[in-house]
Structure 1
Amino acid sequence: MMYLSQLLIDTGGDPDRYRPGRMWLNNIYNVHRRLSMAFPMRLRRDADREFLKPYDPADFAKRQFLFRVDNDIDGNSQRAVVIIQSTVKPDWDWAFQNASHFLAAPPQVIEYNPIFKTGQELHFRILMNLSVKRNVEEVEESAFGKTKTGRILHKRVAFTWNEDTTPDDAIGDWFAGKAVAQGFCPIRTRLLNLAWVYGSKSEATGMRPRRENVFRKLKYRSALLEGILRVDDPVKFTAALKNGIGSAKSMGFGLLSVRPV
């Protein structure tokens, strides 16, 4: 059993007025952090029913959900919806009790227990993190500049393509390669949007006081894809739906949404 949630975000239509919902969406780590608050450990929730204590990742379950931010709903760029798929029922009232001004409507939650058949065709939508793993030489930064260390790191880098290939074809082929191990085959794939997703995350620096924390910048290459797929292996496909596809799932990537053709 899984759960699907829909959060309609108050992004505001007046650029001259304060728009906390839109500002919240501009930092994908803040979105992840707020959504994770819907899955608190029982001890944390029982001890802090008014959510007055500071956020601590250790108080919340890990990898309980996938999510995607859809910024353009029914052609209206002023509306934004966050879709969340979770393995446990979320507590949105607790998560947003001190941030209800982000929401334009009460959260909607339904049970989700899909069953698939071999050969079944489905409409799909997914936001993928366009990345591949490459061997890259390590570079250290200092006050004197950048220096190559000679060590080779196996790093994840943004996916690129040749100039003689269109983004639609290159990304479509890349996604089809991902799909093979996930029990499905894309019949038709359309690239809806190619963009960057940004965020920043506070990190402690060694033994410095907390007030001297630095913010690590986050940047992800994203591709919003839609199309039609065929289910080849229902067991693998169901697992892919549950676990997500690709990298950076905690930052809003990899949630595969499907509906009948």
Structure 2
Amino acid sequence: MHAIPDDPAGERILWRLDADNPHRPFLFVLTKSKPDWSHLVEQAGWPEADGEHAAVRDYAPLLAQIAAGREFAFRLTANPVQNTSNPIKPSEIQAKQTADGRQRSYRIGHRTAAQQLTWFLTRTERWGFDVPEARTDPPARGLEPEEGPDVPSAREVRITARNRLSFKKRGDDKKPVILHTATFEGRLRITDPVVFTERLLGGIGPAKSYGCGLLTLAPLQAHTLNGHRATGNR
């Protein structure tokens, strides 16, 4: 990450590319050191164009607002996965390892929207927040939803994008890396400020080096997160 002036080996850099508008994507980056984006503007942007090319913001004002019970709008692109020693459709290598008695656990990506949403909702507690029930108007008489322990309540979250990414690591001729990603948007409520802050700064889930795990927040009245071009240093 050439925007970091010092050696970034000791810090985790989180980033996410939001391409809601493919003609005007937004790059969000969270760093510990203050970044310098001038080279990126010169190489890939329009240096002579009017307006702000990159916005750098300090995270301190946001961190000061973290408190139990506080609610925010959020966006997260994650890599929902499960660990299993018995994959339903094992790869050729996995099948050979099993046949040779080399049983091990494999990390498998969730592929359906239902699996990805369940992965997210069953982990929010360990990330220091929960997702409140959806705010809906009372149903008309006779149209009340079913109730019971097996009927999950609707939550204030939706998947806005799902992608299958396939690429090779630089200088590596092995099989490509394949990621199944999902972008979650909705409303969250902080339950554990300490744990939540750790996840906010440290990221959520695997594949952080590939643009997953950055949780961004916005005031509830401004649910869209595409008003900034880059997050600031923390």
Q: How high is the TM-score relative to the length of structure 2?
A: 0.69
1:71 aligns with 2:30: no
Distance in 2, matches of 1:78 and 1:116, equals 34
| Aligned-partner Cα distance in 1 for 2:123–2:6 | 34
Contact 2:111–2:180 (CA under 8 A) maintained in structure 1: no
CA distance in 2, matches of 1:157, 1:139: 11
Q: Which residue is 1:164 aligned to?
A: none
**Sequence identity, in percent?**
29
* Residue in 2 that maps onto 1:130: 80
- Any conservation in 1 of the 2:82–2:108 contact (CA below 8 Å)? yes
Greater shift after overlay, 146-155 or 107-116? 146-155
Q: Are residues 216 and 41 of structure 1, via their aligned partners in 2, closer, same or farther at CA, if it must alter by over 3 Å? A: farther
Structure 1 pair 252–234 and aligned structure 2 pair: CA distance change class (3 A): same
Measured at CA, do residues 140 and 103 of structure 1 come closer, stay the same or move farther in structure 2, by a change above 3 Å? same
Which of these residues, 101, 110, 114, is aligned with residue 150 of structure 1? 101
TM alignment of 1:155-166, pairs within 5 A: 155-160=106-111
Whole-Å separation in 2 of the counterparts to 1:40 and 1:215 = 32
Structure 1 residues 215 and 92, CA gap change in structure 2 (3 angstroms): farther
Which of 53, 72, 75 is the aligned partner of 1:106?
53
Aligned CA RMSD, in angstroms, stands at: 2.6
What CA distance in whole angstroms lies between the structure 1 residues aligned with 2:164 and 2:92? 25
* Secondary structure class of the residue paired with 1:197: strand
Preserved contact between residue 12 and residue 202 of structure 2 (Cα < 8 Å):
no
Contact 1:69 1:82 in 2 (8 A): yes
Q: TM-score, normalised by structure 1?
A: 0.63
Q: How far apart are the structure 1 equivalents of 2:76 and 2:174?
A: 29
Asked if 1 retains the 8 angstrom alpha-carbon contact of 2:80 and 2:120, the reply is no
Residue 220 of structure 1 aligns with an amino acid whose one-letter code is L
- Structure 1 residue matching 2:53: 3-state secondary structure: coil
Q: 2-side partners of 1:38 and 1:202: how far apart?
A: 20
Give deviations 1:182-240, integer Å, cap 9, x for gaps.
11001211110111123221336xxxxxxxxx265221000011000111111111111
Q: What is the one-letter code of the residue matched to 1:38?
A: A
Match of 1:183 among 96, 106, 128: 128
1:56 is aligned to: none
Counterpart Cα distance in 2 of 1:232 and 1:255: 19
1:225 corresponds to: 184
Instruction: From the two aligned structures, give the one with the greater strand fraction.
Output: 1
The answer (yes or no) to whether the contact 1:202–1:215 under 8 Å persists in 2 is no
Structure of higher RCO (CA pairs closer than 8 Å, 6+ residues apart): 2
**Which stretches of structure 1, 4 residues or longer, exceed 4 Å deviation after superposition?**
136-141
- SS of the residue corresponding to residue 127 of structure 2 reads coil
Partner SS state of residue 258, structure 1: strand
Listed as ranges, the gaps of 5+ residues in structure 2 are 47-51, 133-155, 221-234
Aligned-pair CA distance for 1:249 = 0.7
Structure 1 pair 215/150, CA: closer, same or farther in 2 (3 Å)? closer
- Does the residue aligned with 1:175 lie in a helix, a strand or coil? helix
Counterpart contact for 1:200–1:218, Cα < 8 Å: yes
Q: 1:136, CA displacement in angstroms? A: 4.6
Equivalent position to 1:198, from 160, 163, 166: 166
Amino acid at match of 1:64: R
